[in-house]
Amino acid sequence: MSLRLSTATKLTPEQAIERAARYFEDEFGLAVAWRSPVSARFEGGGGHVQVSTAAAPSGAEVELETMEWEIQVRQFAADLPR
């Protein structure tokens, strides 16, 4: 199963990627496949999480795509500061 979702946050794109790294890499042990200041891809457990951000007037738009990590991606998106 795969999932794509989009949400807004008051974080900057760079802060959103840093938060994603702490969440998916540190908390769940996913490996960083690649990372830039505004996007990252984490892999492990038979799936992946890809996070892309874009600057918005009040912070950032965050797009998430995943396979096998749907619950964690939904939780990450819900926990982003609005």
**Alpha carbons 55 and 61: distance in angstroms, whole number:** 6
List, for residues 52-72, the tens digit of each pLDDT value: 999 999 999 999 999 999 999
Look up the pTM and report it.
0.94
Query: Is the confidence at residue 31, as pLDDT, over 90?
Result: yes
| Three-state DSSP state, 82 | coil
Give me the residues paired with residue 34 across strands. 41
Among the listed residues 81, 69, 9, the one whose alpha carbon sits nearest the alpha carbon of residue 41: 69
Query: Is the confidence at residue 1, as pLDDT, over 90?
Result: no
Please name the residue that has the structure tokens 């890809």: 50
| Three-state DSSP state, 10 | coil
Report the run of H or E that residue 78 belongs to, with start and end.
Answer: helix 70-79
